[in-house]
Every structure is written in C-alpha cells, then in structure tokens.
Chain A
Amino acid sequence: MNTVFSEEQRDCLQELINVAMGLASDKLARFLNTFVHLQVPAIELVNSTQIPAQFEAQYSSAEAAFVSQGFLGNGGVRGEAIVLYQLDNAHRISALLGYDTDSASELEMLTDISSILTTTFLNGLAEQIDNQLSYSAPRVLSSRQNNVTQALIDTACHWELALKVDISYQLIDHSFNCDMLLLIPGEAVLNIQQILDRIVEEY
C-alpha cells in the first residue's frame, strides 16, 4: 500500500487546509465576537509511530490535554482528530466561551473547545471536497492525571498515517496555540489520495 503523498497531492491538500482554516476562523470570529487571526497552518505527513516522540518535549508537562474525536464521511474518508494543547492556553479561550474556570467544568470546557475547533475546521475541509462528515462525541484521552505521551503511543499504533496540522489562533488580547492531529488509517489514506487526484485533474 502506497501511502506516500506525491508533491501534487501534498500541495493540493495544503491548499484545501488553508481554505478550511480560513472558513473556520471566519466562523469562530463571528461566534466569539472577536477578531481571529489564523496563521497559515503548517502541515506535515508523518508516520504515526513517530508521533509520540514529536510531541513528547512540547507536551510532557502535566498541564497538557489531549482530546480525541472520530470523524466519518462518504467515500471512505475517516479518521480521528486529536487536539493537543496546554491547559493554561485553554483557560484563555474558555473565558471567551463563557466558562468558569473551576475544575468541575474543566473537562466539559476541554471537550467543547476541541469539538468546536475540530468540527469547524473539518466541516470546512469536507465542504470543499463535496463531502459531509459525522462526528463521534469528543473524549478527553489525557489530562492532568494521565501522561500525554503514553496516551499518544496507545492511540497512534492503530493508525498508519498522521496528518499533523499546527494551528495557531491569535485572538485580540488572547493568543491560543494548539496542535491538531488527523490520524488516518491506511485504506482511508488511499481514498483521500484518490479525492486529491480528482481535484488536481479538474484544474
């Protein structure tokens, strides 16, 4: 199974993601009633076994969170979106969403933020390829109690390829950084490659 992306496929994907990010930031800005600036996301296709090591340094502190949400579309597009962020970063955005910072609602806040970021972005991506996605409920796989790296190792081994998207949201007076990982199983990678090839042909 050839899961290596050609240069054309890669460029096409980067373009789709840029547009999806634009759509997402527009929606977020209207929803949060504040200006949202999104840097062009850096994307990287990585073998999923390399992922834990990549994130170990950045998220090894106990104050990181890791939320997973499954997505499923037509034509064999499926995978798992993972949002990783530092908790103090999350608290900045939680105030905008109207949450108290007490620990009782922390998990709820984490799942809400991740779900909003994931679904607005992926809906934007799906829109461009005439697809529609459904989502599973978001689930916190790791927070204060658990080790992010171990949780990543446990999750990553089920997937062949990961699309790593570094997202940095700048809101006025708030900056919010997170990493989004799209973990995609092998046969879904092939389906996505076919979709990308079709788009490339059309232009």
Chain B
Amino acid sequence: MSNDWLTGPILEQLNSGVLVVDEDFQLVYLNSFLQRHSSVQLTEVKGKSLFQVFADVPEAWLRRKFASVLELQSPSFSSWEQRQYVIKLPHLRPVTSSSQYMAQNCTMLPLHDPTGRRYVCMLIEDATDAFVYQQHLQTTLQKLEQSNRVDGLTQVLNRRYWEEQLKLEVQRAQRYRQPLSLLLFDLDKFKQLNDQYGHLGGDSVLIELTARVRALLRDTDWFGRYGGEEFGIVLTNTALAGAVEVAERICLAVSSKAVTFHEHSIQSSISVGVAQLDTTGDRAHEVLIGQADMALYNAKKEGRNRVISYSAGETAFMVKTV
C-alpha cells in the first residue's frame, strides 16, 4: 500500500492517523502516526482483529459504523464533540491540555482493491486544540454566568438575579398552593458603623454577617443583597410562623457575637421584616416585597434588633424582641 514514492512517504509523514481494516475487521494498514501514538508495529499486528489490538474501542458502535460504510458505500463520521475519541491515544500537548487523550475527528471511508475486496479506511484527525479551546470557553462562560448572579462583596445573589428567583418562586407557590415567606433585613446603624470604622470595617461586617446567615439557611432558600446594607431571603414552602422562627435565629446569630476587624470588635445587629405571600396576580411579588419592607420599617421604628411580621389588615403590629 505504501510502495508508491509519492503517496507512501506522505502517508507516513501525515499528522493524522490512517487505519485500514478488511470486512472482518482485521487490520490491513496503520500509518506511522498511529503506530507511534499507540506504540504498536504494523508488522506485529497486521491481520489481527482491530478489537484485539485496540481493546478499548467501542466495539458495538464501531461495528455499526463500519457496517454502514460497507453496506451503503458512503462515508461515516465521528466528531470529538459527540465522542471525544474512538481510539485512546496520547496527544502532543501533555502539559498544556487538561484532557488525557487525544480528541479526534474521524472519517470512515469505503475502499476496495483491484480484485473488488472491500475495506474500510478510518482517518483520525487530532482535534485536541479545539477540545481545549472549547473547555476554556465553557469554564469562562460558567464563571461569567456565576459573576452575573452574585454580589461581588458578599457572594450572595445580586439584586437582579434574586428578584428573578423571587418572581419564579412566587409563581411556583401560587401554582402548587404552597406557602412562601419573605424576609427583608437591614443592618442597624450601618452609616454610623462606616463612620466609626471606615468603609472597610463596614464591608467586613457585611461579609461576616452574610456568612453567618447563610449557614442557617436551606439549599432551597434564596438569599440576595437587595441594596447597600439590605438583604432579602425567599423561604420556599414556609408559612409565617416558620419564617419568624428563622428570622429570630438570624437576628440572634448577628447580635450574639461581635465581628473582629483588625484590633476592633464590632458589635452589630439587624432588623427583620417578615411577610407571607397572600396575594395573587402578576404583581404579587412586588406586593410581598412591599409588605416585608413595611414590617422592616416597623422593626426599625420599634427600636431595631428585632423581628416584626406583617399581618394583613392590622394596624397594630406583632412585636417580638430577641
């Protein structure tokens, strides 16, 4: 097959794999690229079954592919995007690529010799570079998506994404008739705190308190930064009484322990407004925010460091001190 002075050397120096099998999947030819990459010698494997020499190729799949090439006398293809490799081979970027094996684009072609005997030729192209770029792209897109959702300082959800989730959870709660509650809380006297310890001090309090609050929440709750020092928590499948309990725990977790910033010990507290979803319609999530905000306002007015829940139609409010 490689006697010809022109095509022989080209085949041998080609930077792609060339493999030929007969109708019984017995190896007829492997070019140098494949011999080197798979550490086999053509003289040793010629006439042996492809599946014996390359024990980990997907046999059923390859038989099906080759059958279609032989029967239909038309080419068949395999892309690394769907099947990363057909034959496990090392690639030439062992250091700069994260993948262990060469990503391959394969083309399977029908062949016959002058006597009419039929063969399948498989061309294997190294697509590792494309594979590596694709992986970089995907990691970057994931990071981008993440940073598009998260508040840079506190690592809780940013306002836009949090509000989207609130809206979806409100719709879900309405559809499945499940209770849903919202907590809005605000760090007490944040301006004073910033004036006293500087903005870095204020920031470190925000970072520490969000970490404490997060530890008290379930995976299904949505915790986001609503404004400067104001945060919101969507409690799914939770009625008012349960939400008040969570709110009190959060309140206590913040006030019970001071935040250490450099040599300072900063004492802080939060006020929490709680409301349970009780309206329907497109603007239900806005109404809910308004109700929780009203409760939060009352908690501030009542002296801070406390939880107040909104109750419909009442002018007096339920007061709970921690």
B77 contacts the other chain (CB 8 A): yes
Knowing A98-B64, A137-B107 are in contact, say whether A116-B82 is a contact too (CB < 8 A).
no
Task: Kindly state the separation between the CA atoms of A108 and B105 in the bound complex, as whole angstroms.
Answer: 13
Q: Tell me whether B74 and A120 are in contact (CB under 8 A).
A: yes
Knowing A98-B64, A137-B105, A137-B107 are in contact, say whether A108-B83 is a contact too (CB < 8 A).
yes
Question: Which residues of B have CB within 8 Å of A139?
Answer: 79
Task: Kindly state the separation between the CA atoms of A115 and B65 in the bound complex, as whole angstroms.
Answer: 11
A187 contacts the other chain (CB 8 A): no
> How many residues from A make CB contacts under 8 Å with B?
20
B81 contacts the other chain (CB 8 A): yes
Knowing A123-B74, A137-B107 are in contact, say whether A111-B79 is a contact too (CB < 8 A).
yes
Task: Kindly state the separation between the CA atoms of A62 and B160 in the bound complex, as whole angstroms.
Answer: 28
Question: Which residues of A have CB within 8 Å of B73?
Answer: 27, 123
A199 contacts the other chain (CB 8 A): no
A179 contacts the other chain (CB 8 A): no
Knowing A31-B68, A137-B105 are in contact, say whether A119-B79 is a contact too (CB < 8 A).
no
Smallest Cβ distance from B203 to chain A, in angstroms? Answer: 40
Question: Which residues of B have CB within 8 Å of A31?
Answer: 67-68, 71-72
Question: Which residues of A have CB within 8 Å of B105?
Answer: 137
Question: Which residues of A have CB within 8 Å of B75?
Answer: 115, 119, 135
Task: Kindly state the separation between the CA atoms of A105 and B107 in the bound complex, as whole angstroms.
Answer: 18
B154 contacts the other chain (CB 8 A): no
Task: Kindly state the separation between the CA atoms of A94 and B82 in the bound complex, as whole angstroms.
Answer: 16
Smallest Cβ distance from B191 to chain A, in angstroms? Answer: 48
Question: Which residues of A have CB within 8 Å of B74?
Answer: 115-116, 119-120, 123
Task: Kindly state the separation between the CA atoms of A85 and B213 in the bound complex, as whole angstroms.
Answer: 51
Question: Which residues of A have CB within 8 Å of B107?
Answer: 137
Smallest Cβ distance from A144 to chain B, in angstroms? Answer: 15
Contact among B67, B72, B77 for A27, CB-based, below 8 A: B72
Q: Tell me whether A137 and B71 are in contact (CB under 8 A).
A: no
Task: Kindly state the separation between the CA atoms of A108 and B82 in the bound complex, as whole angstroms.
Answer: 6
Contact among A30, A107, A111 for B77, CB-based, below 8 A: A111
A97 contacts the other chain (CB 8 A): yes
Count of chain A to chain B residue pairs whose CB atoms are closer than 8 Å in the complex: 46
Contact among A98, A107, A135 for B82, CB-based, below 8 A: A107
Task: Kindly state the separation between the CA atoms of A155 and B67 in the bound complex, as whole angstroms.
Answer: 32
Task: Kindly state the separation between the CA atoms of A107 and B79 in the bound complex, as whole angstroms.
Answer: 10
Question: Which residues of A have CB within 8 Å of B67?
Answer: 31
Contact among B60, B72, B79, B83 for A116, CB-based, below 8 A: B72
Question: Which residues of B have CB within 8 Å of A119?
Answer: 72, 74-75
Smallest Cβ distance from B18 to chain A, in angstroms? Answer: 16
| Among B60, B67, B76, B105, residue most surrounded by chain A Cβ atoms (within 10 Å) | B76
Q: Tell me whether A137 and B72 are in contact (CB under 8 A).
A: no
Q: Which residue of A lies closest to B82 (CB)?
A: A108
Task: Kindly state the separation between the CA atoms of A37 and B95 in the bound complex, as whole angstroms.
Answer: 54
Smallest Cβ distance from A97 to chain B, in angstroms? Answer: 7
Question: Which residues of B have CB within 8 Å of A137?
Answer: 77, 79, 105, 107
Q: Which residue of B lies closest to A118 (CB)?
A: B74
Smallest Cβ distance from B155 to chain A, in angstroms? Answer: 29
Question: Which residues of B have CB within 8 Å of A135?
Answer: 75, 77
A112 contacts the other chain (CB 8 A): yes
Within 8 A of A (CB), among B259-293: none
- 18 A–B contacts, CB within 8 A, in A order: A27-B72, A27-B73, A31-B67, A31-B68, A105-B82, A107-B82, A108-B82, A111-B77, A112-B76, A115-B76, A115-B77, A116-B68, A116-B72, A119-B74, A135-B75, A135-B77, A137-B105, A137-B107
Contacts A28-B72, A111-B77, A137-B77 known; list 4 others, CB within 8 Å. A107-B81, A108-B83, A115-B74, A116-B76
